[in-house]
Structure 1
Amino acid sequence: MFDAAARRLLDRPLSGVAGLVDRPGVSPNGLTLLGLATGLASAVTAAGHLWWWALGLWLFSRLMDGLDGPLARRRHAAAPDRPQVGPPSQAGGFLDITADFVVYGATVIGVAIGATGQFDVDWLPFLLVLFAYYINGAAFLAFSSIAERTGRQRDDGRSLSFLGGLAEGAETIAVHALWLILPAYAGTIATVWAVVVGVSAAQRIVGGFRDLG
């Protein structure tokens, strides 16, 4: 819902930071993997009730996720002057989106363990969130593949053709951070979030069907 506005707001600052980290030995895929590692670390620290550490690791992980694209675009733009830098790798885009889903799912599980301490009915809201996430993932990944093959892509600058919805990346970052700030209310937050993500899944399924029909 807020992704387009967030990208406009953050594009220049992230591009500036990408310039600062554009050094030998630093690659877009390296930043993606660093974001993956710190995201998983956030899940582990949340499971261990280290909520402020988990929050810091989560936000750092998302910063790395925000920097890999600008760095890749910067390297590609410099390719004529730097022959060793080739065109952007489609594998990099695949790695990025896959890492995002690993981190999102792991964070849900980590918060569930930290907030409930056991597997019982208290886990249900978190399982519903995971279920809704993967419905969304299946919907937009399938749409991206078919849209590419049929020439009906939605080009918004990202690696895949994304279907918009009520819940997008900016909302996900905010809700995951809220869990870490208010772990006592994590179950209630998860219930509401599962509904929001479920509505988004329905939007993407209907929107994708219409676009491809």
Structure 2
Amino acid sequence: MFDTAARRLLDPPLSGLAGLLDRPGVTPNGLTLLGLATGLASAATAAGRLWWWALALWVFSRLMDGLDGPLARRRRAAARGGEEGPRPEAGGFLDITADFVVYGATVIGVAVGATAQYEVGWLPFLGVLFAYYINGAAFLAFSSIAERTGRQRDDGRSLSFLGGLAEGTETVAVHALWLLVPVHSGTIATVWAGVVGISAAQRIVAGFRDLS
């Protein structure tokens, strides 16, 4: 829901940071992998109930995820004399795959830690994972079919994204929120599962209409 506004707000500072990182040895795929590693570390520290460490690692992980795209665009523009070339499919594939791994792992990590420390039930987190599964299936299927039929939505990202109530901005915020207040993580997960479920329904309807 807030991705478009967030991108307008964050693109200038992220592009500036990407310029500072544009040095030999620093690659967009390297930033993606660093985001993946620190995201998994966040999940592990959450499982170990080291909540502040988990939060710091989560924020750093998502920062790396936000920087790989601007750095990639900067490199492509420089390589083509200022004209941005085709989107790097391999990098986009790596990025979205890493996001799926990190999101799923952090849900499990919070569930393990909160269940052990606060006796929070597993069911809300299973609901979140199920809703993520439906969302992922909907937008990946849409992206693939839309690309093949020439009906893709091009907003500069590697895949055609269907908007919804819950997007990347909201996901980052909610994952940070239950690391801030893990005692309430079960309630947060219950509400979030409902919101993501509504988004899944929105994407299914929108994707079907677009492809009809």
Same fold (TM over 0.5): yes
Task: Quote the Cα distance in structure 2 between the aligned partners of 1:87 and 1:37.
Answer: 27
State how far apart, in whole Å, the 2-side matches of 1:166 and 1:12 are: 25
1:121, 1:183 → 2: CA distance? 9
The runs of 5 or more residues in structure 2 that have no matched partner are none
Q: How does 1:174-189 map to 2 (within 5 A)?
A: 174-189=173-188
1:6 is aligned to 6
* Runs of 4+ residues over 6 Å off in structure 1: none
Identity in percent: 85
Task: Say whether residues 1:113 and 2:112 are aligned partners.
Answer: yes
> CA-to-partner distance for each residue in 1:69-88, whole Å, 9 max, x for gaps?
00000000000359xxx854
Structure 1 counterpart of 2:178, one-letter code: W
* Matched-pair contact (CA < 8 Å) for 1:42–1:55: yes
Cα distance in structure 2, aligned partners of 1:26 and 1:90: 19
Task: Deviation per CA, 1:118-160: give whole Å up to 9, x if none.
Answer: 9x98101001100100100000000000000000010111110
User: In the alignment, what sits opposite 2:76?
Assistant: 76
Q: 2:33 & 2:137 partners in 1: Cα distance? A: 23
1:65 aligned residue: 65
* Residues 114 and 120 in structure 2, CA contact (< 8 A), matched pair in contact too: no
Cα distance in 2 between the residues matched to 1:4 and 1:121: 34
Structure 2 counterparts to residues 127-138 of structure 1, below 5 A: 127-138=126-137
Distance in 2 separating the partners of 1:163 and 1:9: 20
Distance, in Å, in 2 between the alignment partners of 1:31 and 1:113 is 28
Q: Deviations over 1:9-53 (max 9, x none)?
A: 000000000000011011000000000000000000000110000
What is the CA deviation profile of residues 99-120 of structure 1, one whole-angstrom value per residue up to 9, with x for unaligned ones?
Answer: 00100000000000000029x9
- Read off the aligned partner of 1:9 and give its amino acid letter: L
AA in 2 matched with 1:211: D
Give the letter aligned to residue 127 of structure 2. Answer: L
- Partners in 2 of 1:121 and 1:17 — Cα distance? 39
State the TM-score, normalizing by the size of structure 2: 0.96
Matched letter for residue 192 of structure 1: V
Displacement of 1:89 after TM fit?
Answer: 2.2
TM-score when scaled to structure 1? 0.95
Which amino acid counterpart does residue 7 of structure 1 have in structure 2? R
Cα-Cα RMSD: 1.5
Q: Deviations over 1:152-180 (max 9, x none)?
A: 01011111000000000000000000000
Q: Secondary structure at the match of 1:117?
A: helix
CA distance in 1, matches of 2:193, 2:37: 25
